[in-house]
Amino acid sequence: MLNARNTRLIFVFLLVAVLFLHLENKTIISIYLLLFVAYFSILFYGSYFIQSDFFLRSLWKGSKERKAIAITFDDGPMAEFTPRLLDLLKSESVPAAFFLIGKNIEGNETLVKRMADEGHVIGNHSYSHTFWFSLNGSKTITEDLKKCDDEIFRVTGKKPKFFRPPYGVINPMVKNAIQNGNYACIGWSIRTYDTNAKSAEQLLQKALKNLSNGDIILFHDWGQFTIGILSDFIKEVRARGFEIVGVDELLKTKAYY
């Protein structure tokens, strides 16, 4: 399995081999460049594709043995969108997981309390969720995650175990923060890209394409067409014989400490 440790070992070996050949005048400088490009391309892939488990093992799919899926939402709570999502989920009797941005909680405590009361899983999605979040040092990221934990605990009395990294990016600094906080890192197997969807039909087809046992679906509270297609998505999922369960049940892992 390709991971950060194996990749380092392979490239150290290759670099030593190239250096030896260089001393023997059997290689050229461009090979060094090729090695570095290949190395950093792999690092980029490992950082930006959470399913690669490159730096850290993530939980991004449930068992293939059970015909069940889980629905998750990122970036809430949002006063404009989240209440409508909760209303729809309640009407369809569907549990979901909400990965919350800590700074969004103040002023939206009622929504967070409602999520907990209605049986939805609440996870940590960082406090700040800045564009450059993953480039901070491990200490700064650890403190940011704790700040989000504190906000969730203030409202619900529960400390979340589940963390989903902003943008799905995991690098050594984010990995260290996850381990420092003893979080379970939650990914996804279907990324709907609902915040960039061009139409409701396109989004619905993207969400349903290749749906299989154990899938974890990634939506966002604020996706332009998300609320509009959610009822049809739920109906089609059930028509195909799938259960919709909480992500904690799907992964057989406790969501809180």
Q: What is the pLDDT of residues 72-109, one digit of tens each?
A: 999 999 999 999 999 999 999 999 999 999 999 999 99
Instruction: For 133-234, list the strands marked E by DSSP.
Output: 162-163, 184-185, 190-191, 216-220
Q: Could you tell me if 7 and 42 are in contact, meaning their C-beta atoms sit under 8 angstroms apart?
A: yes
Q: Which of 116, 43, 48, 38 is nearest to 76 (CA)?
A: 116
The catalytic position among 53, 74, 144, 149 is 74
Angle at 189 between CA 166 and CA 193, to 5 degrees: 60
- Our CA angle for 212, 215, 219, nearest 5°, is 125
Q: Quick one: tokens of 23?
A: 């001393």
pLDDT at 139: 98
Residue in the structure block whose two tokens are 């974890």: 216
Q: What pLDDT, on a 0 to 100 scale, did the predictor assign at position 27?
A: 60
248 is known as an active-site residue: no
Above 70 in pLDDT, residue 245? yes
Average pLDDT, the chain: 94
What letters, b where the CB count within 10 A reaches 16 and e where it falls short, cover 222-239?
bbbbbbbbbeebbeebee
pLDDT by residue (tens digit) across 143-192? 999 999 999 999 999 999 999 999 999 999 999 999 999 999 999 999 99
172 cis-preceded (ω within 30 degrees of 0): no
Catalytic residue status for 220: yes
For the chain, the distance separating the N- and C-terminal CA atoms, rounded to the nearest angstrom, is 31
Catalytic residue chosen out of the listed positions 120, 125, 129, 220: 220
